[in-house]
Amino acid sequence: MARRSSALPDFRRLFEAAPGLYLALSPELVILAASDAYLQATMTAREAIVGRSLFDIFPDNPDDVAASGVSNLRASLERVIATHAPDAMAVQKYDVRRPAADGGGFEERYWSPLNAPVLGAAGELLYILHRVEDVTEFIHLKRQGAAQQRVAEQLRAQAERMELEVFQRAQQIQESNRSLRQANDELNRIDRSKALFFANMSHELRTPLNAIIGLNGLLLDTTLTARQRDYVETVRTSGEFLLQIINDILDLSKIEAGHLVIEEQPFDMRRYLEDSLSLVRSKAAESEVELDFHCAPEVPAVVVGDVSRLRQVLVNLLSNAVKFTSHGTVQLDVSLAKTYDDGSCRISIMVRDTGIGIPPDRVSRLFQPYSQIDAATARIYGGTGLGLAICKHLVEQMDGSIRVESVLGAGSTFVFDFRVRISAVTLPPIVSRDEAPLQKLPHALRILLAEDNPVNQRVALSMLERLGQKADVAADGREVVEAMKRVAYDVILMDVLMPEMDGLEATRQIRAEIPAQRQPRIIAMTANAMSGDRERCLEAGMDAFISKPVSLRRLADALLRVVPRSRRGTTARGHRDGPPEKGLE
């Protein structure tokens, strides 16, 4: 058996062969020894560094003005010298000088150093052992987003330091969210106040307008002198203009609230165009403006879309063209812009006039609410500046766009397009009653008028008398319910806002308490015309909806749908021959 040598090992050889990165330093920070691994990592030779000052050999990169690794290392070594205690450093960035043979310059390294004292028997400082762990690869992996679990472990200490800051930021975010909620609640309160204001204003304005327009229509149906008829026509025109302003304001409020809904139904394209033209034909004749109309033959005959909103857009453009044109021409051209594989198409409509034109710097303001060319134009031609803003929104709701080209003094051209579905349905011919004299209704109806306003009672009763009908009157909802218990009325013309009990609650009680065979047809006839008012009436159990002011023609159309009790059978619900109507707005 071989004998074990009692000689001491070669500690220098062991130190130099150690796998870690080590330096042995004197208290004066002179390099006394270096491990092979350290020499390899720093790309140095032992004979080039041993016996020399540490900071002469390894200075900061002079090209990196933010370099702090050397100064941090010096501070750590000075703490070891002063305290005779180990000092661990955070990860430091060092730039290691590359040999000239390898191209020179510096190579970026990241080290985690530990400086430990080696003390003598009397506690004196003999050496400083400088050990570093090379974490360069780890830092690079961190930058690349790799080895997330490994990064998390290494950064745990930093995460603990950041915890307080995160908490503070969370508190700030909570405070910000609280402020945002308060601001949002305030905005909602303002929106509700605005909606309530519009609803009240609509009701208060439509109530007297109902009397003005209704009685004016009855007056036009009497024998008048030429001067009297001119006066009455002027009142009618002014009343309709005021009603249009109210409708524009209501439409704008619906748009801002996101409540304006585009409906779809099949309609005759050419009929829609001709109807729109007929609404401005008399005004064009008064201004000696010639109307020129052309519809391309490939435009579909029947399409599915919102004909009411399309007519609103086209009539607005035509009315403006006629209003701003004197002794000239307004041209309406309609063409098929594009067809799609899903059976829809895009139709383009152009309205061109030879009127006053628009200054170039004002064109961009045309489609903004309450915007007009200038104050002088508003004084001369009138208007609120809402029409085109509403048109733009309506067209965009129909997957279209609207644009304008204009030359000051030479006229303007408005072009809008919209997307509709092509329909193969053949619509029956529409017999217009607008041009025919209004006749009395073919059947006598038992009518109950629910209206609390005395003037509007007179208006409605006069209209009914013109149609050959009579009616009983109830001034509030409770009277309506009690009257229905006594008399089997065919139809109730129901106001909504009434004292004691409103029309909605009265309708609900009638539907719940009156036997099916005695159920009447209930028609809302109200100044409430905001978004959702019609739906609320139908949900309460009403059959149709007419917003005030009520014209004689619209009232006649609504009553023509009523079948007298003596001639109708009882349905399952008792009061309807079919589903609720969309209304007669």
The whole-number average pLDDT for the span 203-209 is 70
pLDDT of 154 higher than 70: no
Same domain? For 464 and 512 the reply is: yes
pLDDT given at position 294: 93
The whole-number average pLDDT for the span 536-550 is 86
Distance CA(55)–CA(67), nearest Å, equals 14
CATH code for position 304: 3.30.565.10
pLDDT of 210 higher than 60: yes
Are the C-beta atoms of residues 93 and 110 closer than 8 Å to each other? yes
SS3 239: helix
Between 57 and 151, the more confident residue is 57
pLDDT given at position 531: 57
247-295: pLDDT as tens digits: 766 666 666 666 667 888 899 989 889 888 888 888 888 888 899 999 9
- Highest mean pLDDT of the ranges 385-399, 416-430, 439-453, 483-497: 483-497
Distance CA(108)–CA(139), nearest Å, equals 11
pLDDT of 32 higher than 90: yes
Binned at pLDDT 50, 70 and 90, residue 198 comes out as low
The whole-number average pLDDT for the span 127-144 is 84
Structure tokens at 235: 């009142």
Distance CA(527)–CA(35), nearest Å, equals 97
Distance CA(369)–CA(31), nearest Å, equals 82
Same domain? For 403 and 463 the reply is: no
The whole-number average pLDDT for the span 189-205 is 66
Angle at which helices 454-466 and 156-220 pack, to 10 degrees? 60
Same domain? For 55 and 107 the reply is: yes
Same domain? For 150 and 28 the reply is: yes
Closest by CA to 460, choosing from 246, 218, 236, is: 218
Between 464 and 143, the more confident residue is 464
Same domain? For 356 and 500 the reply is: no
The whole-number average pLDDT for the span 519-538 is 80
Between 162 and 412, the more confident residue is 412
Distance CA(465)–CA(209), nearest Å, equals 20
Same domain? For 150 and 171 the reply is: no
Same domain? For 185 and 279 the reply is: no
Identify the sign of the CA torsion 228, 231, 233, 235. Answer: negative
Element (H, E) at 560: helix 552-560
565-580: pLDDT as tens digits: 665 554 434 444 444 4
Q: Tell whether 572 is covered by a domain.
A: no
Closest by CA to 484, choosing from 467, 507, 462, is: 507
pLDDT given at position 571: 43
The whole-number average pLDDT for the span 444-448 is 91
Domain boundary pick from 189, 222, 238: 238
Closest by CA to 502, choosing from 474, 530, 529, is: 474
Q: What is the DSSP letter of 311?
A: H
Q: Tell whether 515 is covered by a domain.
A: yes
**pLDDT above 70 covers what percent of the chain?**
80
Q: What is the DSSP letter of 378?
A: H
Element (H, E) at 126: strand 125-134
Residue 393 exposed, middle or buried by CB count within 10 Å (0-12, 13-18, 19+): buried
CATH code for position 181: 1.10.287
Identify the sign of the CA torsion 359, 365, 367, 373. Answer: negative
Q: Tell whether 436 is covered by a domain.
A: no
Identify the sign of the CA torsion 370, 372, 375, 377. Answer: negative
Among 11-20, 173-182, 512-521, the range scoring the smallest mean pLDDT is: 173-182
Q: Tell whether 438 is covered by a domain.
A: no
pLDDT given at position 203: 64
Distance CA(267)–CA(159), nearest Å, equals 67
- Highest mean pLDDT of the ranges 223-232, 263-272, 345-354: 345-354
SS3 349: strand
Name, in order, each residue with C-beta under 8 angstroms of 172's C-beta and a sequence gap of 6 or more: none
Distance CA(271)–CA(296), nearest Å, equals 14
Q: Tell whether 244 is covered by a domain.
A: no
Domain boundary pick from 132, 154, 176: 154
Are the C-beta atoms of residues 193 and 534 closer than 8 Å to each other? no
Are the C-beta atoms of residues 69 and 93 closer than 8 Å to each other? yes
Same domain? For 371 and 298 the reply is: yes
Element (H, E) at 290: strand 290-295
Same domain? For 172 and 140 the reply is: no
Question: How many degrees, rounded to 5, is the angle at CA 262 between CA 260 and CA 267?
Answer: 145
pLDDT of 5 higher than 70: no
pLDDT given at position 576: 46
523 forms beta bridges with: 493, 544
Binned at pLDDT 50, 70 and 90, residue 439 comes out as low
What burial letters (b/e) apply to 106-140, b meaning 16+ CB within 10 Å? beebbbbbebebeeeeeeebebbbbbbebbbebbe
pLDDT of 382 higher than 50: no
Q: Tell whether 276 is covered by a domain.
A: yes
The whole-number average pLDDT for the span 93-113 is 82
pLDDT given at position 430: 54
30 forms beta bridges with: 53
Same domain? For 101 and 140 the reply is: yes
Structure tokens at 487: 């008399």
Same domain? For 295 and 417 the reply is: yes
pLDDT of 124 higher than 90: yes
Q: 31-34 and 265-268 as β-strands: parallel, antiparallel, unpaired? A: unpaired
Binned at pLDDT 50, 70 and 90, residue 369 comes out as low
pLDDT given at position 575: 44
Among 12-26, 467-481, 518-532, the range scoring the smallest mean pLDDT is: 518-532
CATH code for position 476: 3.40.50.2300
Structure tokens at 39: 């020499």
Mean pLDDT of the chain: 81
231-252: pLDDT as tens digits: 877 777 677 667 766 776 666 6
Between 264 and 117, the more confident residue is 117
How many structural domains comprise the chain? 4
Q: Tell whether 136 is covered by a domain.
A: yes
CA dihedral 457, 458, 464, 467 (to 10 degrees): -160
555-567: pLDDT as tens digits: 888 888 887 866 5
Domain residues for the domain of 83 are 11-154
pLDDT of 326 higher than 70: yes
Are the C-beta atoms of residues 400 and 419 closer than 8 Å to each other? yes
Distance CA(169)–CA(426), nearest Å, equals 66
For 352, phi then psi, to 5°, come to -120, 135
The whole-number average pLDDT for the span 329-347 is 93
Helix boundaries (H) for 43-155 = 46-49, 54-57, 69-83, 136-144, 148-154
Which amino acid is located at 223 in the chain?
T
Are the C-beta atoms of residues 385 and 372 closer than 8 Å to each other? yes
Q: Tell whether 193 is covered by a domain.
A: yes
Distance CA(150)–CA(357), nearest Å, equals 72
CATH code for position 25: 3.30.450.20
Same domain? For 175 and 131 the reply is: no
pLDDT given at position 573: 40
Q: What is the DSSP letter of 315?
A: H
Between 371 and 512, the more confident residue is 512
Preceding peptide of 549 cis, ω within 30° = yes
